[in-house]
Structure formats: C-alpha cells, structure tokens
Structure 1
Amino acid sequence: MTYFVLFLGVCFVLGALAVASNPSPYYGVMGLMVGSIAGCGWLVSLGASFISLVLFLVYLGGMLVVFVYSVSLAADPYPEAWGSLGVLGSGFGLLMVVVVGAVLGGFIGMGGWVMNTVDCSGVAVVRMDFGGVAMFYSWGAGMFMVAGWGLLLTLFVVLEVVRGVSGGAVRAV
C-alpha cells in the first residue's frame, strides 16, 4: 500500500509538471487528467472516498469542459511537441526544483514520509467522509450555487481570452 501511495504521489507531481511546462493546450489537458486522477487516488487511499469522488467529478466534468472549449478555439496548426529544446529545459528545471525540495525537506535523508492509511487506522463504524455527506448537501447548497456560477463565468472568460482576432464563439450574430 505504501508503494502504491508513493506511486500516486509521483504521478501527481509528474502531472503538475506536465501542466506547468505544457508546450500546447493539448498536453496541458493530459497533465491535468493525470494529476487529478492521482490526487483522487491518493485521497481514496487515505479513506476519503466521497470527497475524492466529488473532486474527480468536478475536475473531469467541469474544468475539462473549459479546456475542451479553449483547445478547440485556440487550435494550433503546428503544435510544439514535448521533445523541443525549450520544453525539455523547462521540464528539467522544474524537476530539479522538486528534487532539491525533496532533499531539503528530508524525504531522501529520513527514509520517507510516515503516513497513516485506512489499513493502519483500524475499522470504524461510520467513516468520516460518509458522515459529512449530509452536511455537504444541507449546508453546502449555497456554495454549490456559487461554484456553478463561478464555473460558468470561468467558461465565458476563457472563451473571451482565446478568441483572438477572429471573433471566437462569443460574438454578435
């Protein structure tokens, strides 16, 4: 279980690196998907399966729609690939920052991080994330409305930003 959680952490960092050093929007979407899947898997291994499912649905159901619209509107005829010199240099620099942070943080010197998972904590009658479902739907209804309007506003902002000189999708008919 520990190796699986470490694998998910590595996938999360690699997904964040892919988003940070993307040469084209196509690759940024793939990095975001890898990072969100790894992060939600990490939450599942910690015992928070409900919040992991909610975050997974929000990221892949909501935010990737914005990326699909932006990729379709800003399609490059000749997208830059991962093998270009600028992208490799940026990725190597970001990877070195992660390695230096891990060394200075004591990850390599102390033999790893200690983490309690569901297997270590024992079995509970009602897990904490299932107890929060009722509170999520009773007190969180207003926040869901605010988040929905925020996502709609984000969609229109991205559509306006990537429209360029051609007019884009939001234009007078």
Structure 2
Amino acid sequence: MTYVMLMLMVSFILGLVAVASNPSPYFAALGLVVSAGVGCGLLVGLGSSFLSLVLFLIYLGGMMVVFAYTAALAAEPYPESWGDWSVLVYVIGYFSVIFWVGYNFVVGWSWGGWVGGEESVEMSMVRGDFSGVALLYSWGGGMLILGGWMLLLTLFVVLELTRGLSWGSLRTV
C-alpha cells in the first residue's frame, strides 16, 4: 500500500506540473483531469471514499465546463505540446522548485512525527467522513441541487457559444 500511495503522490505532482507548464488549454485540461483522478485515488487511500467520489464527480463536471470555455476561446490551430522547448523549460523550472522545497521540507521538518486526522482520535467509533455525509445531505442538499443546476445551465451556455462556425459568437475560425 505504501508503494501505491507513493506512486499516486508522484503522479499527482507530475499532473500538477503538466497543468502549470503547458500554455495550451487542451493539454493542460488533460493534466488537470489526471491530477483530479489521482488526487481522488489519494483520498481513497487515506480512507475518505465518499469525499473522493463527490470530489471526482463535482470537480470533473466543472472541469468539463471550463475545458469547453477554453476550447471555444483558443484560436491556435497547432498548440504547443509537452515536447516543445518552451514547455520543457517550464517543466525543468517547476521540478527544480519542487525538489528545492521538498528538500527544505524534509530537512526542516524531519524531527516531528506526522499524525493524520483519523489517528488523532483515540477511541472513536465513527469515522470523520461518515458524519460529513449526513451533514452534506441535511444542511447542504439545497446547495448541491443549486450547484447541479448551475453546471447544467453553464453547459448549455457553452454549447450555444460553440455551436458552429457561423453560429457561435466567440469563434475566430
């Protein structure tokens, strides 16, 4: 399990670097979807399965809308990919910053033990994410419905804006 969590953490960092270093919205959206999936896998590994499912569904629904907006506004026929030199310079710069911060974190914080949220509760019989499910549906149910309707409305707006070559108002083609 330790190797799986380590692989998920490294994949999460790689996905974040892919998002931050790429100027093209197509490849950056792909990196963001990969990062969201790997982050949800990390949450499952830490014991928050319901939070992971809710985050995955809501976040990827919102990312679909954001990707549709950026694809509608992007006018470049040949976008820069991950193999281009300008993107590679950003990738090397981000990895050097990540290694520098990681080294300083390990050297500066290696004296203390790390305890997660589940281990700090001594004799609890209820997990933290299970009580959050009840609160989400009792107090936050209206906001969930409102957020779903807003995502649906935004999807229809994006589809209307990008309907075709002559119909869409934001297309430059």
Name the TM-score class by shorter chain. Answer: 0.7 to 0.9
Contact 1:18/1:28 (<8 A) preserved: yes
Does 1:103 find its partner at 2:98? no
| Structure 2 residue 82 is matched with structure 1 residue 87 | no
Q: How far apart, CA to CA, are the structure 2 residues paired with 1:128 and 1:169?
A: 48
Q: Taking structure 1 as reference, are residues 22 and 150 closer, same or farther at Cα in structure 2, changes over 3 Å only?
A: farther
Provide structure 1 residue ranges, at least 5 long, that are not aligned to the other structure. none
In 2, Cα distance between equivalents of 1:12 and 1:47: 18
- The more displaced of 133-142 and 35-44 is 133-142
AA partner of residue 74 (structure 1) = A
Equivalences for residues 1-173 of structure 1 within 5 A: 1-106=1-106, 110=110, 114=114, 126-144=126-144, 147-148=147-148, 168-169=168-169
Q: What is the SS of the residue equivalent to 1:133? A: helix
Relative to structure 1, the CA distance from residue 11 to residue 117 in structure 2 (aligned partners, 3 Å threshold; closer, same or farther) is farther
Identity level (%): 53
The worse-fitting range, judged by mean Cα deviation, of 72-81 and 52-61 is: 72-81
CA distance in 2, matches of 1:139, 1:170: 39
CA distance in 1, matches of 2:32, 2:93: 19
Matched-pair contact (CA < 8 Å) for 1:12–1:38: yes
CA change 1:85–1:2 in 2 (3 A) is same
Give SS of 2:23's match.
Answer: coil
- TM-score, length-normalised on structure 1? 0.74
Which consecutive aligned stretches of 4+ in structure 1 deviate over 6 angstroms post-superposition? 152-159
CA gap 1:133/1:102 in 2 versus in 1, 3 angstroms: same
**8 A Cα contact 2:22 2:80, kept in partner:** no
> Does the CA contact (< 8 Å) of 1:47 and 1:117 recur in 2?
no
Q: 1:38 to 1:145 in 2, by over 3 A?
A: same
Farther off after superposition, 64-73 or 29-38: 64-73
TM-score by length of 2: 0.74
Output one character per residue of 1:105-151: Cα deviation in whole Å (capped at 9) or x when no partner: 017994xx856598xx9xx7543322321210111134335645765
> What secondary structure is seen at the aligned counterpart in 2 of 1:77?
coil
After superposition, the Cα gap between the structure-2 partners of 1:72 and 1:158, relative to the gap in structure 1 and judged at 3 Å, is: closer
Unaligned runs of 5+ in 2: none
Q: Judging by fraction of residues, say which structure has more helix.
A: 2
Residues 73 and 168, structure 1, Cα contact 8 Å, conserved in 2:
no
Mapped to 2, the partners of 1:23 and 1:158 lie a distance apart of: 21
